[in-house]
A and B are shown apart, each in its own frame.
Chain A
């Protein structure tokens, strides 16, 4: 289809969609006026029922825990998908000795490398703190996991591809990714074992606002944190391997 026709066909459809959206959205309560009951119900009951001060975390890991299980497996599936798509093809091979230098890349200055390496420690600590306090203050497994992954990726940004592969070896990441997902299911099964429903919050709830509170929430945050961190680092290292370590047979 030639580009002009393509654009015209899209625009005619888009105008229709825009009108429908405008019609639908003007029927909503105006911005800033909240009518739905669910948010208020959860805001009122989360601290009483689950002894957690973080209502979003309570929704993600507890009230909607089963959906989060599905989401965890979307993450797992797409990590597997990326690994499968970027596996070394028949006409390629891995370089025997991966190096920090790659033909065609701009060398990294000392300033970038120094700042990158210096930031790794604080970033990993921040990530761990966000995971550990996910049931008290904003944060949780997904958010903290992403920060943890960023810590590992900083080592690559600092121009240390070899270091990145050493702090994030695939033979450790694969089991970490898998046990993160399995851990979520196991914590969920605790509910079944104690005679309640799957993912029921059966552990002692503790005192709201302290580290040991909210029952299963901190455990679930940790399993999710492990899975997200391992999953993101796996995805990034697959992409990096593609550019840094794989070559066509016969290439230098």
Chain B
């Protein structure tokens, strides 16, 4: 039980990769990439978690109260923002792709025209 969150992270990573490899639609592929990215959120937050500890905010609890690791939380914050912007960029690429080739299926893109 105590390794379950790590297992969830590994599962999200692999299942997202599987979706990307077998994807027949670029929008679906971008969503699968988001699933892969979310595995890093789960993994980082699980690493910093401490049983019985509170959130690393000391506004209404005295300083010195056991709190979870704020460093990994800050990393996840960075991760989320970068994830959103990468998703936006890839979706814009998908729109361009659909305009140029009239399809969203990556399998039909074998003959790329310049």
A interface residue numbers (CB < 8 A to B) = 3, 6-7, 10, 14, 17-18, 21-22, 25-26, 28, 30-34, 36, 38-40, 42-44, 46-48, 53-56, 58-60, 64, 67-68, 71, 74-75, 78-79, 81-82, 85-86, 89, 136-138, 140, 142-143, 209, 228, 231-232, 235, 238-239, 242
Which of B6, B13, B21, B78 has a CB less than 8 Å from the CB of A71?
B78
Complex contacts, B7 vs chain A, CB 8 Å: 25
Q: How far is the CA of A43 from the CA of B81 in the complex (A)?
A: 24
Are A53 and B50 within 8 A (Cβ)?
A: no
A138 and B89 in contact, given A42-B71, A60-B74 (Cβ under 8 angstroms): no
Are B82 and A71 within 8 A (Cβ)?
A: yes
Most buried by A among B3, B85, B96: B85
Q: How far is the CA of A204 from the CA of B77 in the complex (A)?
A: 27
A39 and B68 in contact, given A7-B22, A138-B57 (Cβ under 8 angstroms): yes
Q: How far is the CA of A10 from the CA of B18 in the complex (A)?
A: 7
Complex contacts, B82 vs chain A, CB 8 Å: 71, 74-75
Nearest CB in chain B: distance from A84 CB, A: 9
Residue count of chain B within 8 Å CB distance of chain A: 51
A82 and B69 in contact, given A31-B2, A53-B58 (Cβ under 8 angstroms): no
Q: How far is the CA of A217 from the CA of B96 in the complex (A)?
A: 40
Write the chain A residue with the least CB distance to B64. A44
Are B85 and A74 within 8 A (Cβ)?
A: yes
Are A34 and B59 within 8 A (Cβ)?
A: no
Nearest CB in chain B: distance from A14 CB, A: 5
Are B69 and A7 within 8 A (Cβ)?
A: no
Q: How far is the CA of A97 from the CA of B99 in the complex (A)?
A: 23
Residue B109 at the A interface, CB < 8 A? no
Complex contacts, A22 vs chain B, CB 8 Å: 10
Are A209 and B59 within 8 A (Cβ)?
A: yes
Q: How far is the CA of A10 from the CA of B22 in the complex (A)?
A: 9
Residue B102 at the A interface, CB < 8 A? no
Q: How far is the CA of A206 from the CA of B14 in the complex (A)?
A: 48
Write the chain B residue with the least CB distance to A1. B107
Are A55 and B70 within 8 A (Cβ)?
A: yes
Are B46 and A137 within 8 A (Cβ)?
A: no
Given A43-B56, A56-B73, 6 other A-B contacts at CB below 8 A?
A34-B50, A36-B48, A39-B70, A42-B56, A78-B89, A89-B99
Which of B71, B89, B91 has a CB less than 8 Å from the CB of A38?
B71
A33 and B18 in contact, given A25-B3, A43-B70, A138-B55 (Cβ under 8 angstroms): no
Complex contacts, B85 vs chain A, CB 8 Å: 74-75, 78-79, 231, 235
A31 and B3 in contact, given A7-B22, A18-B14 (Cβ under 8 angstroms): yes
Enumerate 7 A-B pairs (CB-CB under 8 Å) in ascending A order: A31-B2, A38-B69, A47-B58, A53-B57, A56-B73, A86-B95, A137-B57
Report B83-103 residues with CB < 8 Å from chain A CB: 84-86, 88-89, 91-93, 95-96, 99
Are A31 and B6 within 8 A (Cβ)?
A: yes
Nearest CB in chain A: distance from B69 CB, A: 3
Q: How far is the CA of A18 from the CA of B56 in the complex (A)?
A: 32
Q: How far is the CA of A21 from the CA of B7 in the complex (A)?
A: 9
A7 and B21 in contact, given A25-B3, A75-B85, A85-B92 (Cβ under 8 angstroms): yes
